[in-house]
Amino acid sequence: MVKIGFGSSLGASFSKYDRDDHEGLSPEEWRRKYPQGKGIPTPYDPSRELSRAICKHYGYHRVGGFDIATRLAWACWKKDGPMFHIFATSNLQAYPWTFARVSKFQERLARVVDGHEYGKCHCHITPDGKPAYSERYFYVGNFSLGFADVEISKGEFGHINRHGELAYDARYLNVGHFTTSGLAQAKDANGWFHVDHFGQPSYSRRFLQCGPFNNGLASVEFMKKKGDGVERVRRCINSRGEVIDPISLQVLPEDNE
C-alpha cells in the first residue's frame, strides 16, 4: 500500500512571514508593489498538494486541519457531507461515527456540530470522537488557554472551561477568544471592551470596535472630536484601556478624555 500522510514534514505550516516569503522585498517595497494587498501571489503550500494526494488515493472529498498534538486531521467523503477525523499516519477514520461539521483540534479538543447547524447542537469532542461534556450550545469557538467562547442562548455569549462549564455568570452580546494577555474581547449594550477569565471588565471605557491583545496592545476604534464635528479614529490601548502611542507606549491624554 502506498503510504501518504500528514506525518511527513509536508504537513507543517509554510506561512512564516519573512523576506523570503516576500520576494526579498522590505515591508515598504512590498506595500508599494502590492498596494492594499491587491495582486499578491498565492504562496506555495506543499500541504495542499499532500491533501489532494490523500483525497485521490483514499477517496476523500476534502482533507485538512492537521493537528500536530493529536496527529489528526478532518475529512469528508463528499461535498457538504458528514465530516469526521482521520489519523495522520494511516489516513483512516479515527472513530466510527460522523458529525454534520467538525473543525481542527486545538488544545486537544475540536468543535463539532452534532445535528442541525442552527440548533443548540454545538460542542467539543476529544480525539476519540466522544463529547468532552454533556452540555450543548448554539455556537462554540476554539479553545484558547483553557477557555472557549460560546453562544449560550440566542444573543447571549460567554466562555466555558474544558468541562463545558460556564466560566462566569455574566452574559454579553458577543465575545472573542482569550489571548496570552489573559483578556478576551466582549461587547455589551454600550460597546466593545475586554474581560478577564472571571468575566470582569478590564477597564470601564467602551469602544466602537476592539481587537484581541497582541504583545500587550489591542487596536480600538472610537469617535473623536474634530473641529465642530467628530471623526472615527483607530488607536492602540494597553490592558488598562488607556489609549497609547504604539511606538513610545506613552499614554495619549487627548485620546483619553
Q: In what order do the strands lie in the sheet with 122-125?
A: 101-102, 110-113, 122-125
Residue type, 86: I
What torsion, rounded to 10 degrees, do the Cα atoms 183, 184, 185, 187 define?
Answer: -100
pLDDT value for 37: 66
Q: How far apart are CA 69 and CA 103, in angstroms?
A: 15
What torsion, rounded to 10 degrees, do the Cα atoms 91, 9, 99, 162 define?
Answer: 130
176-227: pLDDT as tens digits? 999 999 999 999 999 999 999 999 999 999 999 999 999 999 999 999 988 8
**For residue 130, what are the CA distances in angstroms to 63, 79, 111, 127, 166?**
20, 24, 11, 7, 20
**For residue 103, what are the CA distances in angstroms to 109, 111, 116, 123, 149?**
9, 5, 16, 11, 15
pLDDT value for 257: 72
What's the whole-model pTM score? 0.79
52: three-class secondary structure by DSSP: helix
Confidence of residue 56 (pLDDT cuts 50, 70, 90): confident
Q: How far apart are CA 52 and CA 31, in angstroms?
A: 32
Do the Cβ atoms of 33 and 25 come closer than 8 Å? yes
Cell triple for residue 186? 466582549
Domain boundaries, the chain: 1-102
Residues present in the chain in total: 257
Q: How far apart are CA 34 and CA 27, in angstroms?
A: 10
Q: How far apart are CA 69 and CA 19, in angstroms?
A: 29
3-49: pLDDT as tens digits? 344 443 333 333 333 444 556 666 667 677 777 667 766 655 556 77
